[in-house]
Structure 1
């Protein structure tokens, strides 16, 4: 399919689209919900085109058969800054979003960023995005983006990070009173969205995650995507 030229260089997704980490479209990298924007990058194969999700600057591959589900965005994406006081006013609704996602039957999906099936960072990103606050896509990117805080200074809506081999590979959302909500896998988790504890009394899953606990962070602003040149 030949896309119509876009004056902004961007396109709206007309439905949720799967986006892949590889040009063979075998490994799900993320998902773009209806209404999100993608930008075409200067790479393609017979099967897929390289794209960037505009709001978080994440580069992936889109199947060419899904180009039919894109619509021209006449105007470019307008970044709306959100500062910490505004974020604090929206934390309650962010937590409500996460709890509501848990109540819907779901399973863990690597690359999942839309309801009902999320991966860990996809759930966190979606919860914040529901209130107009964008975070980077992956857990380690989110770890680099937030402001570090101590466990003693944790506040509602802060992020909790876990790591193996000294690299962040899991993220959760702090609920208060020692509890956090996250989407965890089947091997070391609940195969979906669940609530666990930072400190005793622990169950086996909470204890296993505590052994990989590596830090905490606070979202201070909404993510401003990089320029297209940085993504090619």
Structure 2
């Protein structure tokens, strides 16, 4: 395996979860940085700099990479800085909801997002980087004693007893904004409620509620590595 090299993406790019490049893992906007970890004839394994997320790109997308003039250096943000931009992150997500959209597994460029892609992109637009996946975001946040302690801009987590599989942004008054798949009764970004009596979709998510977390800092690449990230 060659030593990782640093590149900048010149156009929006799809990353896949295998060398076959047939299943979307995530997306990267123009301007983001990455490292090349492994090169094959038809696909390259890369890791995005801002969140350490790995994925495969088509070898044809090599034309959309240029050598980075500087190695990516994450900025440190404290809770006060994060609190100041929460209204803007929520406004970003609300604007995304106002556009025609559907749920897209791996989507984080818009108009189509998955749940954690919407959360990550809404905060990244304000300079606050979070890990990519819902379970990683749950581990990264400061856990709250219950969802009742959640405040505007905190994250609400859902899933199985053993793993978080879904994330939403808390709006207050039991409401949360998220991108939800059609299997739960929605297909795109919308508002649901931490109230099982509100409607069938809210009830289905209520049955999967795990808890809430608070964003206390911005992700520090290379320091906050999670296991299980590297695709097989």
Same fold flag (TM > 0.5): yes
Q: Deviations over 1:9-64 (max 9, x none)?
A: 321111110001111111100000111111111x2322100100100000110110
Alignment pair present for 1:40 and 2:19: no
What is the CA distance between 1:122 and its match in structure 2? 0.2
Q: Measure the CA separation in 2 of the matches of 1:10 and 1:110.
A: 27
1:152: Cα distance to partner? Answer: 2.1
1:188 maps onto 2:184 in alignment: yes
RMSD (Å) for aligned C-alpha atoms: 1.8
Which of 156, 162, 166 is matched with 2:162 structurally? 166
Choose 88-97 or 69-78, whichever is displaced more. 69-78
Matched, 1:118 2:113: yes
Quote the offset at 1:200 in angstroms. Answer: 5.1
User: Aligned equivalents of 1:170 and 1:200: distance in 2?
Assistant: 17
1:52-67 aligned within 5 A:
52-67=47-62
1:187 counterpart SS class:
helix
Match of 2:182, SS?
Answer: coil
Residue of 170, 175, 178 corresponding to 1:179: 175
Q: 1:129 aligns with which of 118, 124, 127?
A: 124
Distance 1:44 1:202 in 2: 51
Contact 1:9 1:76 (C-alpha < 8 Å) held by counterparts: no
4+ runs of 1 displaced by more than 4 Å?
A: 229-232
Residue 201 of structure 1: how far off its partner (Å): 4.0
Pair 1:31-2:27 in alignment: yes
- Counterpart mapping for 1:1-232 below 5 A: 9-41=5-37, 43-149=38-144, 150-199=146-195, 201-226=197-222
Supply the distance in 2 between the matched residues of 1:222 and 1:151 (Cα, whole angstroms).
Answer: 22
TM-superposition CA deviations, 1:173-211 (whole Å, max 9, x none) = 001111000001011141100100012541100100000
2 CA distance for matches of 1:169 and 1:22?
21
Q: In structure 1, what is the Cα distance between the partners aligned to 2:204 and 2:94?
A: 22
Q: Would the aligned equivalents of 2:196 and 2:206 in 1 still touch at CA under 8 Å?
A: no
| Unaligned 5+ runs, structure 2 | none
Structure 2 distance, partners of 1:134, 1:79, is: 9
Partners of 1:167 and 1:200 lie apart in 2 by: 21
